Amino acid sequence: MNPRVRDGVVVHSRRSVLKTSLAGLGGITLPGLMQLRAEGMAPTNNKAVILVWMTGGPSHIDTWDPKVNMPREIRGPFKTIPTKLPGTHICEYLPKQAAMLDKFTLIRSVDCRHSNHEPNMVMQTANLANEPRTNPKAKLYPSFGSIIAKHRGPNHPAMPPYVVLNMKSRSHVAWGGYLGTQYDPFDGNSAAKAFHLPTGLTMDRLQSRHTLAQQMDGLRADIDASGMMTAIDSFGQKAFEIVAGGRAQEAFDMSKEPKKVLERYGEHDWAKQALLARRLVERGSSFVTIDLSNHGASGTWDNHGDNIPPYGGIWNGLRPLLPVFDHVITTLVSDLDERGMLDDTLVIAMGEFGRTPTLGTQGSTDGRNHWPYVMSMCMAGGGFRHGQVIGASSRDGGEIAERPVTPADLAATIYHHMEVPLNATYLDHQGRPNFIVDGGAPLKELI
């Protein structure tokens, strides 16, 4: 029987006793099931979305929908410039975008009547009830990124599917909600800490600790009727795979980029986030949101007036932002195009709503207040037909004049690009199904 030969279970310590006791029960584990599920839903392409979230709500009149023939109190202090699209003018502080507007689509008729801002996320969920100030369930409606994480997953299993970069406040972005915490975004702000192991902790030791903890948690999950343990286990497993796998760690390592690419994007933090977003989708993330803000209040684009810090008004608040945004959005789109990634990557830039048609709100002479009746946004990439303007606002920019585009239309367009079924549903806490798209349709002008 060779009693002195090491074979089968060898007990070295109390830890080994615990592991041996759990071996039978842990034979079929959640990571294994997750792997099988991931293999079954593995995408056959590298489609992705980068959402440049202009936190606070940029003024449509002072960016993409200028009103050149209106009095100054409506048209604002900026001049306009012609673009690559004949007859289309945009703000003078967006010259790079103007020169390559054939790569973009401007939408000037977005219906944002139900949208407020932080912690409201109507435009990131397409759910018109997403108003936490009046609806206690609002935070439970899942984001675009979370829906895609569930129904499509990442383009590479070692990458987080949904990532938020530069998150200045949790209230600036939407979360997994009813889908569970395993579909919350991966916080890019914490990536450096997540990828740094404490002194003396090797990957082998980390793997050993993780395996034992996972087996112990599996016992608790078996008796947890709420399903919370399953969500935590899944989230923890994915986090561990991201840290241990090395692919995401490499994606977050900006030193890997050639010097000329780093110089092309530049030193501004927003530009660095755009480069990081490109690196993430290049390596397999499927939805990346950039919180385009400089502070954790209601957003840098919330330009109420110079007398209302930290936002400033249109001249002193918005004007310095526009050249930075112009550089960020055009550099990102050009880089994706040159790398052959633009057809697979849909780039969207938008905020929560527009701004009032008339300057001088809330006691200011140069600010604009929230205006949820119409807003503008832009898109590029995704294999869509660009070089066009969809919809129009009224003469003073106060309301939609033609071709309303709803949050549900935006959601349907995103899911169409990501090959997520438009009739897909998720369950609320009462087990009732909710459609991910409620009444919207992909924008026919783009397809």
Q: Which residues pair with 381 in a beta bridge?
A: 346
DSSP state of 100: T
Give the C-alpha separation, 117 to 124, whole Å.
Answer: 11
Q: Please, what is the end-to-end C-alpha distance for the chain in angstroms?
A: 71
Q: Quick count: other Cβ atoms within 10 Å of Cβ 32?
A: 11
Which residues of the chain fall below pLDDT 70?
1-42, 191-245
Give the C-alpha separation, 263 to 271, whole Å.
Answer: 10
The structure's pTM equals: 0.84
Q: Which residues pair with 378 in a beta bridge?
A: 106, 349
pLDDT recorded at residue 118? 81
For residue range 242-261, list pLDDT tens digits in order: 666 688 889 999 999 999 99
Closest by CA position to 366, among listed 319, 399, 324, 321: 319
3-state secondary structure of 392: strand
pLDDT recorded at residue 342? 98
Give buried/exposed letters for 388-413 (b at 16+ CB in 10 A, else e). Answer: bbbbebeeebbbbeeeebbbbbbbbb
Count of helix runs (H) and strand runs (E) in the chain: 14, 16
pLDDT recorded at residue 83? 98
Domain borders along the chain are: 18-42+196-251, 48-67+90-134+143-168+258-292+323-337+346-351+372-414
Tokens of 105: 């689509």
Question: In the CATH hierarchy, which fold is given to the domain comprising 48-67+90-134+143-168+258-292+323-337+346-351+372-414?
Answer: Alkaline Phosphatase, subunit A (3.40.720)
Sort strands 400-402 and 425-427 into parallel, antiparallel or unpaired: unpaired
Q: Which residues contact 234 (CB under 8 A, 6 or more apart)?
A: 30, 34, 180, 182
Inter-axis angle of helices 30-40 and 203-222, nearest 10? 100
CA angle (418 as vertex; 84, 387 as ends), nearest 5: 10
Using CA atoms, how far residue 375 sits from 78, 147, 216, in Å, is 18, 24, 51
Give the C-alpha separation, 130 to 299, whole Å.
Answer: 18
Q: Which secondary structure element, helix H or strand E, spans residue 336, and what is its range?
A: helix 321-338
Question: Which phi and psi (to 5°) does residue 339 adopt?
Answer: -90, 0
pLDDT recorded at residue 264? 98
Sort strands 162-165 and 186-187 into parallel, antiparallel or unpaired: parallel
Please give the distance of CA 397 from its chain centroid, rounded to a whole number.
28
